A and B are shown apart, each in its own frame.
Chain A
């Protein structure tokens, strides 16, 4: 009975959330019907959907998405791995942190996009340049969050580990990494989100494929339906990536909380 009521309340909340999108669609369609703007600037909502279906049907969309995903994964892998390793070392050793910390902080002051012209000068315009650029974006949140997690492992765990005579690899895998895991996962999620943002940026620059390129060429050819379809796609993929990593995070955090609760 009470479950029924909660369900009904949740359902009502969801309906409230639909008010804004429905209003936007109505106003949008209304503006189209009034013919105030040319169809180079405003296309009906239905046209965006049909363009999306058309692009998916020709296989063009899938190709662009796969190319972008491959770029993101390569850059993310390099950036996040190096960020993880560096963050781990900085968290474990105070002198490493003292030496590298200020230097990384200084580099962080430069917005990622500012590196792009230099990367292009050094690496040219090909895949490598894009991977390096995405890797830089993925690096910062990972190094910061890993460091925070590792240096924040409670001292009592470390003492306990000493009592049990845990050393090196075992100390890392049994004490440090599990303790730092929530923070590391947050770093991974932020890092992947930024990689996805930077791939779209990197593809607006001299390239022949990818979802960012699709939007850019849509702009060049005044196909606003393609640009809007691209927006829907990058939003959806960003949403899925975030949701997936959050799901993993929640699973791990539940486990973590229950361990903490057991102690209390």
Chain B
């Protein structure tokens, strides 16, 4: 599927590429123009709709003079820690349930029932148990990372091709060696999908965690501050920053996934 798409893109000639590029920037450019026009006419209060120029200058001053980067750093630390905890335990749990049908029968029903509770719903309980600090935030973020990783690792392990397992048993692969050499490499594409989804979920839930659990530093906290001081420019700067970093994280993990996965398509051809 991916190859098919890539092939078509490569065969596109330059004028078509320019056309598609123009199509891509039309909507944002149009919106920006309309936005600037409406803001400059003063139909709507600047409190609700600051001009794009104001937002941009707020962005610059926040980076150079204020501590926007400190807030970003605090959020990133939380997300990465929560992601690492949640995704690694999800990987272990998914692998365990994937390897043993008995383990699946014992744990899967409870897992699927618990999964139905929206992650946000746990916030009041977690806060009551762990008080307001860094710990409940990281627990919530890990929980969000845990589910997709478990599901995808499980599916990946279960879908390992029978031929590989037979070949492995002929060669006397067992235990840790079987898992390391055969099962995990075969399940890798699915595991990478799980990690990508997990990181996205962690980043999204981090926002909610910072809104509902008081902290002094964090990009969500910064946006909230903008809201309570009726500073829409600051809110928009926060949203823009979050989108940018979220995109950066996705690109990083997708690139990592591609690197790890390199050469696997060749295997599939055989």
List residues of chain A with CB under 8 Å of any chain B CB: 13-14, 16-21, 24, 40-41, 95, 98-100, 102-103, 106-107, 109-118, 120-122, 196-198, 200-201, 204-205, 212, 215-216, 218-219, 222, 224, 227-228, 230-231, 234-236, 238-239, 242
Contact = CB atoms under 8 A, between A and B. Distances in A.
A239 B113 contact: yes
A120 B227 contact: yes
A197 B24 contact: no
B23 A98 contact: yes
Contact of A16 (B106, B124, B227, B244): B106
B257 interface: no
A111 B207 contact: yes
A238 B208 contact: no
Contacts of B247: 106, 109
A32 to B, nearest CB: 14
Contact of A200 (B118, B206, B220, B232): B118
A103 B123 contact: no
Contacts of A111: 203-208, 242, 246
Nearest to B47: A121
Nearest to A96: B23
A110 B116 contact: no
B10 to A, nearest CB: 17
B239 A114 contact: yes
A110 B246 contact: yes
A21 to B, nearest CB: 6
B259 interface: no
A99 B27 contact: yes
Contacts, number: 147
Interface stretch (B60-68, B83-91, B125-133): B125-133
Contacts of A18: 109
Contacts of A218: 124
A107 B243 CA distance: 7
B211 interface: yes
Interface string B119-161: 1111111011100000000000000000000000000000000
Contact of A239 (B116, B204, B208, B235): B116
Contacts of A228: 125
A230 B121 contact: yes
B105 interface: yes
Given A98-B24, A114-B242, A201 B208 contact: yes
Interface string B220-233: 10011011001010
Contacts of A212: 120-121
B178 interface: no
A118 B24 contact: no
Given A21-B110, A114-B238, A204-B120, A231 B243 contact: no
Contacts of A234: 117-118, 121
Lowest 5 CB-CB distances: which A-B pairs, in order? A17-B109, A197-B118, A111-B204, A117-B227, A113-B207
Nearest to A115: B239
A162 to B, nearest CB: 22
B70 interface: no
A65 B86 CA distance: 31
A204 B102 contact: no
* Candidate in B47, B204, B250 with the most chain A CB atoms within 10 angstroms: B204
Given A99-B26, A121-B227, A197 B120 contact: yes
B260 interface: no
B266 to A, nearest CB: 26
Contacts of B224: 117
B117 A235 contact: yes
Contact of A116 (B20, B117, B125, B211): B211
